[in-house]
Structure 1
């Protein structure tokens, strides 16, 4: 049966409570930390001489689509009414708006160490200890808006520039690809610091704390953010009928990216599925 993913700003109190409780239960069972480990393992930069599946590559979008489905399956084993909501950061843009409420994700971190002190995922509540990460910090951290060096969330105009590109991805198929929808949405740009962070990447930086880097899954907002990214991919597909995932075939011998990216009909690790098989989600879920 096809289910619906909703805008988190439309959630009722009951929907918020059920979503939070399902997340906490997946964490209690030890399943959640496996998602963190998986993301860290597949967070491979294009400076490394090995396969990139999750980031800085064409498979950024299908990889996270499948990753979201796995988390959603885990949540629905706890409560079959639960689906992953999306956070439309072009519309709800302040540190006090949904999803940063006491009954949902809690707010920003305190000034001294960025520890989240409010909401169900605050360390002091005892249900959300960080066990897998790139540091030894046990508490969830955030710095919404980057208080010491503020940045703004991406705008509807930023999203439009990505959606307007009719080509899925282009050579060199990495963080330097200047054209193509994939990198315009993923958001790798030129320069250093804030000027180089666009769309998806800028949201990670705006949230700050654990959302910066491979261990970003430790913050539950990761899933809401990527659900919106997934929705934008769906909108791009509707806008550009017939446009497909690229590259369609493995790259030619001698190409510097050969063996480092996944073509449309190649298996997408760690799953037995191809990007081409993940292009159509209409038989699984829809967006409200």
Structure 2
């Protein structure tokens, strides 16, 4: 039966409670940290060797779609009514708005160490220790809006620049692409600091703290953010219709290409699941968005 992912601002009080409780339960069971480890393991950049299945490549969207589904299924084993809500960061743009409430994700980190001390994921509550990471912090951190050098979340216009591009991705299929929906949404660019970040990437930087880097899954807002990113892929498909090119590249790069063995073509299998990007293009029989 198809289920619905809702805007987090429209969750009922009971739906908020159930979502938070399911997250805390899989953290207690040890399942949640497996998701953190997986994201760290597959966070491969242009400058590293090996396959880029999760980031800086065409499979950014189908990889994270499957990743979200795995998390959602883990939550539903605790409570079948739970789905992953999405955070519309073009509308809920303040550190005081949803989802930064005490009954959801808690608020900003305190000024001197960025530790989150409110809400159910605060370290002082004892339910959300950080066990997997790229730094030694044991508590969740945030720096919403980056207090010392403020930045803004992406706007509807920023998102529109990605949605309006009718081509899914273009050579060289990496973080340097200036055309194509995938990288305009993923948000790699040129320049320094936040001038080089757009849409998806800029949101990670705006949240700050644990959300910066491969261990970003440690902050539960990761899932709400990526559900909204996933929704944009659905909207892009709907906007450009069946006549659009769909996922690209269709075939792997040639033997002389620097991208040979570094990206996932349409019918190649994405690790660690063995599913292909084209198998993830239409999941409307599993879930839909409100």
Length-normalised TM-score, structure 1 = 1.00
Distance 1:213 1:192 in 2: 17
Distance 2:237 2:111 in 1: 42
Q: Which residue of 1 aligns with 2:224?
A: 224
Q: How does 1:91-110 map to 2 (within 5 A)?
A: 91-110=91-110
Distance 2:249 2:271 in 1: 17
Distance 2:85 2:207 in 1: 17
Aligned counterpart for 1:251 among listed residues 246, 250, 253: 253
Q: Which residue of 1 aligns with 2:274?
A: 272
Shift of the alpha carbon at 1:100? 0.1
Distance 1:135 1:99 in 2: 25
Q: Deviations over 1:15-67 (max 9, x none)?
A: 00000000000100000000000000000001112100000000000000000
Give the secondary-structure state (helix, strand or coil) at the position aligned to 1:91. coil
Give the secondary-structure state (helix, strand or coil) at the position aligned to 1:34. helix
Shift of the alpha carbon at 1:258? 0.8
Q: Which residue of 1 aligns with 2:27?
A: 27
- 2:267 equivalent to 1:285: no
Shift of the alpha carbon at 1:222? 0.1
Q: Which residue of 2 aligns with 1:187?
A: 187
Q: How does 1:21-100 map to 2 (within 5 A)?
A: 21-100=21-100
Shift of the alpha carbon at 1:192? 1.1
- 2:274 equivalent to 1:261: no
Give the secondary-structure state (helix, strand or coil) at the position aligned to 1:138. coil
Give the secondary-structure state (helix, strand or coil) at the position aligned to 2:110. coil
Shift of the alpha carbon at 1:252? 0.9
Give the secondary-structure state (helix, strand or coil) at the position aligned to 2:44. coil
Give the secondary-structure state (helix, strand or coil) at the position aligned to 1:4. strand
Give the secondary-structure state (helix, strand or coil) at the position aligned to 2:228. helix
Q: 236-245 vs 106-115, which deviates more?
A: 236-245
> Unpaired runs of 5+ in structure 2?
none
Distance 2:266 2:132 in 1: 32
Distance 1:87 1:236 in 2: 18
Find runs of 4+ consecutive structure 1 residues off by over 2 angstroms: none
Distance 2:49 2:209 in 1: 28
Give the secondary-structure state (helix, strand or coil) at the position aligned to 2:81. coil
Shift of the alpha carbon at 1:241? 1.2
Q: Which residue of 2 aligns with 1:211?
A: 211
Give the secondary-structure state (helix, strand or coil) at the position aligned to 1:39. helix
> Unpaired runs of 5+ in structure 1?
none
Distance 1:258 1:84 in 2: 35
Shift of the alpha carbon at 1:169? 0.2
